[in-house]
Structures are given as structure tokens and as C-alpha cells.
Amino acid sequence: NPQLEDFCRQYNASTLTELHPSFCNKDKISLIIQKQRLLTNPNGQDVDGLIFLLNIDPFIRSYVQDRYHDADGTMIFCAYKEQLQLLARLESFEVDMSYKRLRSNNMNEVLFATFLKDQNKIITLLRVFTTFDTADGYYLLFKRAFSLLEKITEKPILFHSIHNSGFHGVILDMDTKQYSGLGRYLSEIDPQHRDYVWQLQHFVVFCRVHFQRTILKAIGTRNKDSSPESLYSQMLGLLDCNTEKEFDETIECFLKYEDDSVVNWANQKKSAVIKAGLIKACSGIPSVFYDQLRHHTNAVEQSHQKSYASGKYLTLVEAVKNSAKLDRSDIDQYNGYLDFNLHHSYRTSTVEANYVRRMSLNSSNTYKLLRSTSSSRRGLRQTASTNLLNLEQRRQELEIQKLQTELDKQKAEIEKQREETREKALQNEERELDLLERRRRLQEFDLSSY
């Protein structure tokens, strides 16, 4: 605590016990702290405490947009209006739940977030503190969240799969409760009331990082092997399937030849919803939109990590207060970019790029200074202008080199994927031939027994 350190430093001490022996009794200090907390938050620091805070703190009141608290459970929707207006303008977003943010065992935090390419920035869009962790709970959460969006923006919230306009897709992890609740909500607002499976096939993309985690959970982290013939690589290869038939055939191989843990894993992945969310060939999302969507929930994961910087397992009041500060900073940085073209950080962080940027800035400042001098300094101004041109050319060369390197990597990756696909096809054929040979031998054995 900085204030405590300053207090001790005033008396040439580093700890309270050095100031006076009575401070050795920590219970007395805890009692004083608890008393102050009760005075500050007379209604506690959970839901009742937050309701009390809303009545006295206009900053928090502008942040908490909606709340539901009854016998069934609690939902508290937190965001500034600018965040919700931004969310309504996006084509996609990410959703994930954090189980570590709050101290309460039955309350968690659900985050909506996205990555802004033009700003190279992750921004949180909406936080929902909720006691619900069921499909019905997520149905209510999405229904209330989109109703809140309509209320704030005063515009209807549309989904391209249903209305041919609006959100193109959402990126989720493979939480059955989460995507089932979303599918139920989409089916409800669909004028044709197509079932939740159809809704999810045409709107959801699943996080590939979570997909890899399910593989390691099934086979164990010790068995992670990146060699092409390894089980891990073959399971991960599902993401490279170019057709639904290829996906289904690969799944069938796992069901026939692998142990129970992998069989259970494969049974879950052959679901129509799961495979649609994993590979383009099975998805109902238009190809042009699918290619633009992110295939991981890194934005929302990073938003969780930013929140954890202020602490984990907090009381509800503490979590809301800290979140209000974080989100205010996010939206201020976003507005700073729109109004003044100010980036929250350098767009690229390589040593060369930062060096060129710094030299360009120094030369630019020098150039402005030289322009204000007398005409006798004209030669120096020309030199500065030449330096600026050279630096700009150097920057462009670096960008071209970077693009060429990325293209080379992509070409190598495509060639590698082609080789892996060919190898997998050969392996599948070998397995099928082996299976046919076994069947033939069994038939011959049956005939000979007669």
C-alpha cells in the first residue's frame, strides 16, 4: 500500500511493527480495516452494497446500465454508452466467461470484447456479472444484452443470418451452455423460427485455441507431439479439412481406432454445431464474412487479463469500481484515436520500426525548427527535407520486406498443409485397406469353419 509505505517512511521505518510493538497484533489492524469498510460500505460489498453505491456515486451510476436481482438470480450489465454504441456498429465480437474475477462462488463475469484493427487495440464492450451458468441463464443474458443495445442506440439489433444485415458472427469457446442459450435466443427472434442448430451453424465460430486445449485434455499434455504422424497432429488436422466429408471421415477414423478418451472427444466434435463452428466447409456463414472473422477469443482473454491486474476474487463492489476505471480508459483511448489520431501505443513494436519512427519524429521536429529560422538557413532546411525523404524510403523498404517475409511464410505454410493433407489421405487409405483385409480374413475364416 503506497500510503502505508509513506506513513512508515515518515518515521524512518519500513513496517508497522518497527513503529510500535502493539502493531504486532494483526487482528487489531484487521478490526480497524473492517470497521472502515463498514463505514464506507454500510450495505456490504455485494449486490446490496452496489445498489447503495448507485444511489450516491454518479460515476458508477453512468456505468451500470441495467440490473436484475430476484429469487432466480442476479445479472448486472456494466458498460458506458459509448461502448454499447461501438458494439452495435461492429460486424462481430467475442464472448467468454471468467471464473476468477469475483470472490463469490456463485457469481462470475461474462465479457463481450473485440480487437480493433485500425487502432491495433483490444477493447471491452460489455461486462455482465451474473449468478447464472446454465443454458437458460445464457438465453436470458443474450436476450437482455441485445435489448439493452436497442434501448441505448434506439435502433433495432440485426443479425445477418436472419435479417441479411447486422452482425456477421460471434466467436465463442465450446461451452455447450453458452452457445445453446445463444441459439435459443436467435431462434426466438427469427421470423421463420428455424431451430437453434441452424442458427448456430450460420452465426457462430468457435475458438481454435480452446479446440487445441480439448485435444490436450483428451490425450494428456505429455503426449503433445507436433510431428505429422502423431495423434495430436492428426486430431489438430481436423481444422485443415476442406470438405465436410473429409471432416466426417477423419472423425470416423478416431472413433474406430483410438481409445475411449479420444472416442469421447470425437463424438463431441462430430456434432453439427461444433463442426460448423470449426471449419469453413461446414459453416453456413457466407465465405466472404467467414474469412474476415477471427478464429480465437484472444481479445476477450486479454480483457480478462487486464481486469486481473487490479486483483482476482474481488467483491462485487470492488470489481465494478475497477472495471469502471478500466473501461473508461479504454473508451477514452478509442475516442482519442477518432478525434486526434492518437494511438494508445506504437502500432508496431519491432526494433527497426521503432527506430525509424523515432528518427522520423526527430527529423520532423528539426524540419519545423529550421522552417522558423531566417532565409540564410535555407540550405539546412533542404538537408532536413532530404533526410526525411530518405527515412520515409527506408520505412517503406522495411514494410515491403516485412510483407515479403509474411508472404513467404504463408506460402510455406500452405505447402506444408498440402503435404499434411496428402499424408493424411494416404494414412486413411492405408487404414481402410487394412480394415478391408481384416474383414476378408474374417470371412475366409468363417467359411473355412463351415
Residue 94: per-residue pLDDT? 97
Show the cell assigned to 415: 505447402
If one counts every other C-beta atom within 10 angstroms of the C-beta of residue 333, the result is 17
Contact 115, 294 (CB under 8 A): yes
Contact 201, 283 (CB under 8 A): yes
DSSP, res 312: S
Q: How many whole angstroms separate alpha carbon 391 and alpha carbon 356? A: 7
Same domain, 17 and 68: no
CA gyration radius, the chain: 29
- 328 versus 33: the higher-pLDDT residue is 328
Residue 448: per-residue pLDDT? 66
Same domain, 90 and 25: no
Residue 376: per-residue pLDDT? 47
DSSP, res 346: -
If one counts every other C-beta atom within 10 angstroms of the C-beta of residue 92, the result is 19
If one counts every other C-beta atom within 10 angstroms of the C-beta of residue 9, the result is 10
- Kindly report, residue by residue over 170-203, the tens digit of the pLDDT: 999 999 999 999 999 999 999 999 999 999 999 9
380 pLDDT band, cuts 50/70/90, is very low
In a domain, 7, yes or no: yes
Q: Is the pTM of this model over 0.85?
A: no
- Kindly report, residue by residue over 229-250, the tens digit of the pLDDT: 899 999 999 999 999 999 999 9
Same domain, 330 and 407: no
Examine the pLDDT at 5 and tell me if it is beyond 90.
no
Range of the domain at 24: 2-40
- Kindly report, residue by residue over 301-328, the tens digit of the pLDDT: 888 888 888 889 999 999 999 999 999 9
Mean pLDDT, range 410-416, rounded to an integer? 82
Same domain, 180 and 80: yes
In a domain, 152, yes or no: yes
374 pLDDT band, cuts 50/70/90, is very low
Concatenated DSSP letters of 211-242? HHHHHHHHH-GGG---STTSHHHHHHGGGG-S
Same domain, 57 and 15: no
Same domain, 179 and 289: yes
| Mean predicted lDDT score pLDDT of the chain | 86
Same domain, 82 and 181: yes
Same domain, 189 and 302: yes
Q: 429 — alpha (psi -120 to 50), left (phi > 0) or beta? A: alpha
**What letter represents residue 327's amino acid?**
D
Mean pLDDT, range 54-62, rounded to an integer? 95
